Chain A
Amino acid sequence: MFEKSWPLGMLAAGLAATATTTQAHEIVGNRFFPATLAIDDPGVNDELAFPTIAVSKTGDDPSFKQVDVSGEFSKRITEDFGISVGPTWSRLYAPGGPTMNGAQGFQNLETTFKYRLFKNAEHELIVSAGLSIEWGGSCAQDVGAERFTVYTPTLYFGKGLGDLPPSLNWARPFAITGQVGYAIPGVAQTTTASIDPDTGEQDIDMEFHPRVLNWGGTIQYSMPYLKSAVVDLGLPDFVNRLIPIVEAAMQTPVSNTATSGTVTTGTINPGIIYVGNTYQIAVEAMIPVNRQSGTSVGIIGQLHFFLDDIFPNSIGRPIFANNINTGRPTYGR
């Protein structure tokens, strides 16, 4: 039974690895959009997310514990265009893995190209488009890394509610972000031939690789925004740096679904983000939306560095930047 569900488990592991890939932060007018954990946010920036650690129990039958440790480096090429690269190391505990004794190794390397299409400070609105490529065969198949490449064009958006009327001041620190992507496998199906040890006959196993809609969103309440743009309540500095957040990350197979089925999987992640001047720390629970998405509540945490703030005159700025002449030398600051 487990062997039959293993390809589905590998798909789930791959999707989970994709879902935990991260992220950029962004400032739009009054609004600071933090880097989010379950979905990518619309920002394009120079940053390093390391480590991101996720612990969950998979939706396989039987279920097993999975630990993912990932990182991501994002670099702006121009002010609006950036590239990010992110490896993920996974450990599957027994009865996971092809031999049911567990497995460990790197997931396929993922590269994302993202372009900021639109940014409006007054309305705290940002829209970006990107293409993520999961390079097939670049890592360990035992942990679900596929042999084929997957291309995912994605649209991202973020909207702060700071332009609400003064009568709704309490709601102005709210913001929403979202993404919609369409994952297209490089090959439509994989055929595996094997010899049945009992009968000696040849078995042909055909697996169809579905095209998957990756969609999700966040709703967040920014205490930094409350303090600096709505009302300074004189709260402790620690509280003024928190952003409570709920994320949702879903995957829906939409075509070529003969062997995968069309069940939507994903998690709802309530959590909190602490924002420092040059870094943020986030922790979220991962609540599976159904049995196929997991068998218990998982947890994910991340340490994230704003390289544009830490190294503003070197690796933290776009390779092709529009320089601002301040009339002062750039050394010795």
Chain B
Amino acid sequence: MKKITYALTITLFICTAPTLVLAHAMLDHASPRVGSTVNSAPKEIVLWFTQKLEPAFSTIEVRNEQGAAVQAGKATVIGDRTQLRVALEALPPGIYKVIWQVLSVDTHRTRGDFTFRVGP
């Protein structure tokens, strides 16, 4: 019985570990939303990640349909260090691709991309 109790305790500890430990930084959600259509051009992109980020190794690139970069300046880590933000140039209607690369504070690298549309 003691062994079962120990095993259950360890299992419960590890299963609740997401709140206690570090992990790969994965994209949780974004503004504008992944795959969304917005009527008015956003002035910035904000990405929320599942872990804290290393600012020096975390970037956002935003490209228009011709492949030209439309972000204004470098991405900055904000909030509780789980958010990454970059300002945008004035965006005409079209489809935009957001490409992110981040390094979590436990030195795991992750990358990803998604699109959003500006216009009716």
Contact = CB atoms under 8 A, between A and B. Distances in A.
Interface-central residue, A29, A230, A231, A303, by most chain B CB under 10 Å: A231
Interface in B1-21: 11, 14-15, 17-18, 21
A228 B27 contact: yes
B23 interface: yes
A313 interface: yes
A166 interface: yes
B22 A232 contact: no
Nearest to B95: A166
Given A227-B34, A231-B34, A309-B22, A278 B17 contact: yes
Given A227-B34, A228-B34, A333-B106, A29 B18 contact: no
Contacts of A303: 11, 15
Interface string A96-122: 000000000000000000000000010
Given A224-B26, A232-B33, A30 B115 contact: no
Contact of A327 (B17, B56, B115): B56
A279 B17 contact: yes
A40 B54 CA distance: 33
A237 to B, nearest CB: 9
Contacts of B57: 324, 326
Contact of B21 (A30, A230, A309, A326): A309
A224 B50 CA distance: 12
Contacts of B21: 278, 309-312
Given A230-B114, A326-B54, A333-B22, A279 B30 contact: no
Chief secondary structure at chain B's binding surface: mixed
Interface string A125-136: 000000000000
Contacts of A277: 17-18, 23-24, 26, 50-51
Contacts of B54: 326, 328
A278 to B, nearest CB: 5
B36 interface: yes
A283 to B, nearest CB: 15
B108 interface: yes
B34 A310 contact: no
B35 A232 contact: yes
B14 A312 contact: no
A324 B101 CA distance: 15
B101 to A, nearest CB: 10
Please classify how large the interface on chain A is, using the bins under 10, 10 to 19, 20 to 34, 35 or more. Answer: 20 to 34
A261 interface: no
B113 interface: yes
B104 to A, nearest CB: 8
A172 to B, nearest CB: 10
Contact of B17 (A310, A324, A333): A310
A27 B26 CA distance: 10
A305 interface: yes
A61 interface: no
Contacts of A326: 54, 56-57, 103, 105, 107
A30 B111 contact: yes
Contacts of B51: 277
B107 A324 contact: yes
Contacts of B56: 326-327
B94 to A, nearest CB: 13
B110 interface: yes
Given A278-B14, A310-B21, A229 B105 contact: no
Contacts of A166: 115
Interface string A273-316: 00011110000000000000000000000010110111111000
B29 interface: yes
A175 to B, nearest CB: 14
Given A30-B111, A306-B23, A232 B29 contact: yes
7 contacts: A169-B35, A230-B34, A232-B30, A234-B33, A276-B15, A277-B51, A326-B107
Given A279-B17, A309-B24, 6 more contacts: A229-B34, A232-B35, A279-B15, A303-B15, A305-B14, A312-B106
